[in-house]
Structure 1
């Protein structure tokens, strides 16, 4: 696994950041959680509508949980040809993010993988602090583990949830996860890494201040060494499912993602690391807007199909 790190942004990525900067939106850490949610909503409203592949089924669902139900959305590209299931957890610093905000990438993932995608609208902080998001992810796993192959996937804060669920499934037994797909995941409350210093000033989508603000709202200080909050704090990473990791070189989170990939590899876990030196945080979900995003969804979809093809199949029950 080569250490690519970051450098100059690709002109297309820079153009996307310039478009966002032109909106004049405040940094996420500049106000309250509700302010951050409004900033996210405004940035989403500025994007073209009707992105994402046209697929056979998009269906809102209710996922059973101990506290009631969790909203979710189910995606199937081609009925009768589904192989496997992916539980997807969106980004947003555990504070914001919606099913609609990540609808386009879930449509494209369903098309690229041939799998059923379940997007999970987990509870947000600070109203619901750690481990609420993990507990909601676990509830989704319990509800949708009747299919093999089964993967967990997420971007940024969602990548943190996916990694934590893989750890919890290993530690508790009883649930088998075949693959974890981690997109520039948040894995550690260490804000002194080189990539944070280099890219955390605020002109690469998220800042160092944002990262600290996200963690402050989600994880109490005495829980920050809990591996389900900070997977890089795990004492051992042996016997975890194979991992596909996608990183952006010009991203404050780059170095912790790379550190986790190396730690998984050293623990004997099969890791496929895709490190995009000229991309910034969040690029993967910019489908229909950024050529690299479209290419990467297709490439990761091929990797997932290959991994799923080597896994025993259990067909889903009728829902």
Structure 2
């Protein structure tokens, strides 16, 4: 079908503003620009109760926001890591998505403000992400969460962190992750066909990705770590990873990497549902005010989570 007309319009609108590319801004300017854009492009249509807390991260306290929908009794939870190349983004930029997923899934969502690069370089954000998931697991009674129904998820860099947390949970054996939701995730640093084909003119560019990686990684050796590149997770650990829902966008330079990770999991015998949204670009989940398929995809995420965690809850609780 080609690039969706709504996406074409949005890209033309962005180009007409004549803003400098992100890599030409300072880190603080890039963060401010992304937050302003997020407020314009995505707004929650429904809201749930929220609570902001601080928990101990890797090097310092980090903020979390707990989204609690109306529910009866114990439910599942999604620990969510926002996208933004490990450099930009925060709880606020992904607030609309988290409200919608919590409201439509009936599950609690714990959104995590992990440390950002370059202040917090790899692997600090991975450890922050892990500690947030472990905090959720350890506080399951307080939050009225079934500890056997905890998922991790995120978009782009957040999807990368979710996959890394799932791997660490296998290695450390002190946390149970039941499900991973990886939304156009960054899975490796090898050049792919989609990276070359869609690396210019489709919102996320090669030069911006290079800038993100330069801020995040401490050196070339980091590209060989499975905590930075989930495609490098050893086969023995891959077989023990939780079931996954992996979503990609057709015109995204990261598309092939997400599909390759889905294939890696399937080949290892892990249950996977893989979806590629036609006509969409990287970041479309946060463009719901302009792109109707963004709303559709966020609702699909909620539906998948609900199907995984809330089916027959009453039956389970009464057994």
Same fold by TM (over 0.5)? Answer: yes
Structure 1 residue 262 displacement after superposition: 0.4
Structure 2 CA distance, aligned partners of 1:284 and 1:260?
20
Structure 1 gaps of 5+ residues are 1-6
| Contact 1:56-1:79 within 8 A present in 2 as well | no
Structure 1 residue 310 displacement after superposition: 6.3
Structure 2 CA distance, aligned partners of 1:215 and 1:138?
20
1:40 to 2:40 alignment? no
1:233 to 2:232 alignment? yes
Structure 1 CA distance, aligned partners of 2:13 and 2:63?
31
Structure 1 residue 255 displacement after superposition: 0.6
Structure 1 residue 45 displacement after superposition: 4.9
Counterpart residue number, 1:282? 283
Secondary structure of the corresponding residue to residue 26 of structure 1:
coil
Per-residue CA deviations over 1:68-122 (Å, capped at 9, x if unaligned) read: 4211111122153662110000000000102111110111111121100010000
TM-score by length of 2: 0.90
Say which is worse superposed, 264-273 or 146-155, in terms of deviation: 146-155
| Contact 1:82-1:115 within 8 A present in 2 as well | no
Counterpart residue number, 2:203? 205
Which one has the bigger helix percentage?
A: 2
Structure 1 CA distance, aligned partners of 2:60 and 2:71?
29
Flag the 1:52–1:82 CA change in 2: closer, same or farther, 3 A: farther
Please provide the CA RMSD for this pair.
Answer: 2.1
Q: How many corresponding residue pairs? A: 305
Counterpart residue number, 2:102? 110
| Contact 2:105-2:306 within 8 A present in 1 as well | yes
Structure 1 CA distance, aligned partners of 2:312 and 2:169?
18
Counterpart residue number, 2:65? 73
TM-score by length of 1: 0.90
From 12, 19, 33, give the equivalent of 1:18: 12
Say which is worse superposed, 61-70 or 128-137, in terms of deviation: 61-70
| Contact 2:150-2:179 within 8 A present in 1 as well | yes
1:86 to 2:69 alignment? no
Counterpart residue number, 1:175? 175
| Contact 1:196-1:251 within 8 A present in 2 as well | yes
Counterpart residue number, 2:274? 273
Counterpart residue number, 1:155? 155
Counterpart residue number, 1:3? none
From 212, 215, 239, give the equivalent of 2:213: 215
| Contact 1:189-1:215 within 8 A present in 2 as well | no
